[in-house]
Structure 1
Amino acid sequence: MNNNTPVTPRPLSHLVDAVRRRVFSAAQLREHGVAAARAAAQCRPGGPWQQLLPGVYLLHPGAPTSEERLHAVLLYAGRPGPEAKGVPAQPGSVPSPSPSVSSSVSPSARPPASPYGGVMVTGLAALALHGFGSTPGLRALDVIDVLVPRTRRLRSTGFARLIRAHALPRPELVTGVPVAPVARAVADAVAELSEAADVRAVLAEAVRGGHCEPAAVVRELNQARLLARPHVVDAVDALLAEGRSLAEGRLYEMVRTYALPEPVWNVDLRLPGGLHLGGVDAYWPEQAVAVELDTRAPRQGGPQDDDAIWSEYARKREHLERLGVTVVHLTPRKLRESLEQQAMVVGTALTAADERDPAAYVVVLPR
Structure 2
Amino acid sequence: MITVAHLESLGVPPGTSYRRCLPGGPWQRLLPGVVLLRTGEPTRRQLVEGALLHCGDQAVVTGLESCRRQGLKRAVRAGEPIHLLLPLHLKTTSSGYVLVERTKRMPVPVWSDGVPLAPAVRAVLDECRRLRERPPIRALLAEAVQQLGLDPAALTTELENGSRRGTALPRAVLREIAGGARSAAEAEAMALWRRSGLPAPLWNFELHDQRGRYIATPDAWWDDVALAWEIDSYEFHFGQPGYASTLARNNRYAAAGIAVVQTVPSRLRSEPAAVVDDLVTAYRAAAARPRPPVVLAGRHERLVQGF
TM, length-normalised to structure 1: 0.46
Q: What's the secondary structure of 1:192's corresponding residue?
A: coil
In structure 1, what is the equivalent of residue 34 of structure 2? 56
Aligned equivalent of 1:136, options 75, 89, 96: 75
Q: What's the secondary structure of 1:209's corresponding residue?
A: helix
In structure 1, what is the equivalent of residue 188 of structure 2? none
In structure 2, what is the equivalent of residue 196 of structure 1? 134
CA contact (8 A) 2:61 2:85 kept: yes
In structure 2, what is the equivalent of residue 217 of structure 1? 155
Equivalent residues in 2 for 1:1-367, closer than 5 Å:
23-78=1-56, 117-133=57-73, 135-137=74-76, 140-222=78-160, 223-226=162-165, 229=168, 231-242=169-180
The CA deviation string for residues 28-79 of structure 1, in whole angstroms up to 9 with x for no partner, is: 222322221111121122111111000100111212111111111111011x
% identical aligned pairs: 35
Q: What's the secondary structure of 1:51's corresponding residue?
A: strand
Displacement of 1:225 in angstroms is 1.0
Distance 1:201 1:243 in 2: 11
Displacement of 1:210 in angstroms is 4.4
Distance 1:32 1:242 in 2: 59
Letter in 2 for 1:119: A
Q: What's the secondary structure of 1:140's corresponding residue?
A: coil
Displacement of 1:243 in angstroms is 8.9
CA contact (8 A) 1:123 1:185 kept: yes
In structure 1, what is the equivalent of residue 262 of structure 2? none
Unaligned runs of 5+ in 1: 1-22, 79-116, 245-364
Displacement of 1:227 in angstroms is 6.7
CA contact (8 A) 2:72 2:148 kept: no
Distance 1:131 1:144 in 2: 17
CA contact (8 A) 2:128 2:137 kept: yes
CA contact (8 A) 1:207 1:243 kept: no
TM, length-normalised to structure 2: 0.55
Displacement of 1:366 in angstroms is 8.3
Structure 1 runs of 4+ off > 3 angstroms? none
Unaligned runs of 5+ in 2: 183-299, 303-307
In structure 1, what is the equivalent of residue 255 of structure 2? none
When Rg is computed on C-alpha atoms for both structures, the one with the higher figure is 1
Equivalent residues, number: 185
CA contact (8 A) 1:183 1:216 kept: yes
